[in-house]
Structure 1
Amino acid sequence: MKTIPRIALLLYPEITPFHFSVPYTVFSPISTEQPLFELKVAAEAHIADTANHGFQVASDGGLELITSADIVIVPGWHDLNARPSTELLHALQQAHQRGALVVGLCYGAYALAYAGLLDNRRAATHWLAEQDFRERFPHVRLDTNALYIEDSGLITSAGTAAGLDCCLYIVRKFCGVQAANRIARVMVVPPHREGGQAQYIEQPVAHSTKDITINKLLDYLRQHLEQPHRIDELAERLSMSRRTFTRHFQKATGKSLINWLNDERIQRSCELLEAGSHSIERIAELCGFNNTVSFRQHFQRRHQVSPSVWRRTFTGH
């Protein structure tokens, strides 16, 4: 009889119900007719059970469950400033050393990073923690666009729902595509999502700078994004030389004119796509792209998905 993979799902104080319930649901027997995994909830000795927001969970045992697991999952993390205990760090390190798959969902990547497992490896976590994560763990190659990443027996995922994408990936990895598709249908979710975090990251555009003259120009440019704009013409508009204009614009916005225009045009295109009233071709014209091909290329490069996929994602059409 084939041995099914053993999973140790970590329980910790103040755990978020959603982060815990996603892997618990995907890997528990209720998702399929026959159990695909042997799931156990592991906790440190001083944590018999824990509750948060009225959600209470009891553990199946202590950290010794990690020592025999094929897959170890840290479902989020309660406090980015809280370094895991020495016992937990050692358990995660030992699990990885003996060849177990160690998984950090969302902020669970912090626990793996604190253990030193992600040094010099690619990793993902929620985009909100990008700056903090980079400052704390400068040796980790953080990818803030990926929904999930596997590198050297370590898997990390982006925030919240991306944990579900990651869990379905693990099902595909161990049990095949059909099993993952079956669980996805039961949960009424796509078995695989297109694109990455980039399409969900808030990207506010600064509407003013400390340079009043440049601010007036930016307002003008935003009102005329559909038109072509050349440096020489804009410099003449401000009674500046090309060199002086370029220096002032870069200092005020932190970007070159072409990069600023591309950012504004892409931002505007997102708004029009979500409004849903214009064709892709018309949006390309309204945003000042030379043609639809150029628009699609710039959009794909920025958001890792096509304009059509963006529209379907944010409008349902």
Structure 2
Amino acid sequence: MQRPHRVVVLVLDGALPLDVGIGAEVFHPETGFPYEVSTCGVTAGTVPAHGDFGFAVPRGLDALAEADTVLVPGYAPPGRPISVKVREALRTAAGRGARIASICYGAFALADAGLLDGLRATTHWDAADKLAKRHPQITVEPNVLFVDEGAVLTSAGAAAGLDLCLHIVRRDLGVGAANEIARGLVTAPYRAGGQAQYLPRTNSAAAQGETLAATREWALKRLDQPLTIAGLAAHARMSPRTFLRRFTEETGSTPLQWILRARVDTARELLESTRLSIDHVAREVGLGTASNLRLHFRRLLDVSPTEYRATFAGRNKP
């Protein structure tokens, strides 16, 4: 029997409680998926959190030596330098092949350890300028939910940390597993990494980020049908021009880009959970033909539908 994938959450002084809880919830073995999650600190004991309480952690930095994934939650104040011991432990874990991920201000710990040099990264929008100025060798992207650079991943604020962890599950186990965990957490199963963070705007309606939620849900139920900007705008009771601007503000992508990604993700889930032919899957998600589905799979995922099915079919449960 394959051993579980070990996720270790590194709790640093001033840890943000919600950030710490995200990894514990997404990767908890009670979800039924092959993860094992634990916490550690610089040393075993109680780590003071942001607020009037703390986290009891059973182990110190030695726990990182056993981690397949190290998750660093945010901590306050943002940008506080980490100790040499923490830097070395993170570098050692990355050097032996562990995946390293951060939530919110946790990106500063990865940056201080040199793990983001030459890479793209993000953090909470209110600290993005600080991260960029302190580490000019990093390409900081302040207006995205998360950035996946393969072995190193970073996310924006707490809710984006949930998106990042679900993205990791999609990478490991496929769309079906991520969707099932999301349903258990009563959260949206998929928000693309390029979707915009909240940033202050003069238009308060746009800043809410939910003015077109009903239209997006409507579109997701009709992926097998032709979907046009004119039709989506009519559903949202907006002019096409206003709809296009508002949609891009809320999601970080154009409507047609968003629909294409939704179709590919729905195809991924069908390939994981059914024996439908590639042609049938293509028709079900509105991509028409198997060749069209293969084209977009290659472009977005760098694999063919057949290769994807061979990798992920039957892997949703241990």
Query: Which bracket does the TM-score occupy, shorter chain normalised?
Result: 0.5 to 0.7
1:235-314 mapped onto 2 (5 Å cutoff): 267=203, 270=206, 280=233, 283-284=238-239, 292=240, 294-299=241-246, 302-303=249-250, 304-305=252-253
Aligned CA distance change for structure 1 residues 146 and 81 (closer, same or farther; 3 Å): closer
1:47-100 CA distance string (max 9 Å, x none): 544344354321121101101210001011222242111010001111111111
Q: Distance in 1 between matches of 2:171 and 2:211?
A: 38
- Consecutive unaligned residues of structure 1, counting only runs of 5 or more, are 205-266, 285-291, 310-317
Q: Residue in 1 aligned with 2:105? A: 107
1:74-93 pair list within 5 angstroms: 74-93=72-91
1:115-171 C-alpha deviation (Å, 9 max, x unpaired): 111111011111111221111111111112221111140000011100001111111
Q: 1:271 to 1:60 in 2, by over 3 A?
A: closer
TM-score by length of 1: 0.66
Which residue, out of 151, 154, 168, partners 1:153? Answer: 151
2:133 matches 1:135 = yes
Q: Which residue of 2 aligns with 1:14?
A: 14
Separation in 2, partners of 1:107, 1:10: 13
Alpha-carbon separation, structure 1, partners of 2:211 and 2:18: 31
- For 1:180, the equivalent position in structure 2 comes to 178
Q: Distance in 2 between matches of 1:9 and 1:183?
A: 18
1:117 to 115, 118, 138: 115
1:169 corresponds, among 163, 167, 171, to 167
**Which deviates further from its counterpart, 151-160 or 193-202?**
193-202
Q: Which amino acid aligns with 2:172?
A: F
Residues 50 and 76, structure 2, Cα contact 8 Å, conserved in 1: no
- Greater displacement, 179-188 / 169-178: 169-178
1:10 maps to amino acid: L
Query: In structure 2, do the counterparts of structure 1 residues 51 and 199 end up closer, same or farther at CA, with 3 Å as the change threshold?
Result: closer
Give me the whole-angstrom Cα distance separating, in 2, the residues matched to 1:92 and 1:141. Answer: 20
The alpha-carbon distance between structure 1 residues 296 and 97, as it changes in their structure 2 partners (threshold 3 A), is same
Residue 27 of structure 1 is matched in structure 2 by 27
Q: How many residues align?
A: 235
Residue 198 of structure 2: aligned partner: 200
**TM-score normalized with structure 2 length:** 0.65
Residue by residue over 1:218-263, the C-alpha shift from the partner in whole angstroms, topping out at 9 and shown as x without a partner, is xxxxxxxxxxxxxxxxxxxxxxxxxxxxxxxxxxxxxxxxxxxxxx
Cα distance in 2 for residues equivalent to 1:272 and 1:153 = 33
Change (3 A) 1:184 1:98: same
Query: Rg larger in 1 or in 2?
Result: 1
Residues 298, 274 of structure 1: alpha-carbon distance in 2 compared, 3 angstrom cutoff: closer
**Whole-Å Cα distance in 1 between the matches of residues 69 and 169 of structure 2?**
11
Contiguous gaps of at least 5 residues in structure 2: 213-231, 259-318
Identity of aligned residues (%): 35
Q: Distance in 2 between matches of 1:95 and 1:297?
A: 44
1:14-72, CA deviations, whole angstroms, 9 ceiling, x for partnerless residues? 22211111111111123x1x352121211112754434435432112110110121000
Contact 1:66 1:95 in 2 (8 A): yes
Shift of the 271–83 alpha-carbon distance from structure 1 to 2, 3 Å rule, reads: closer
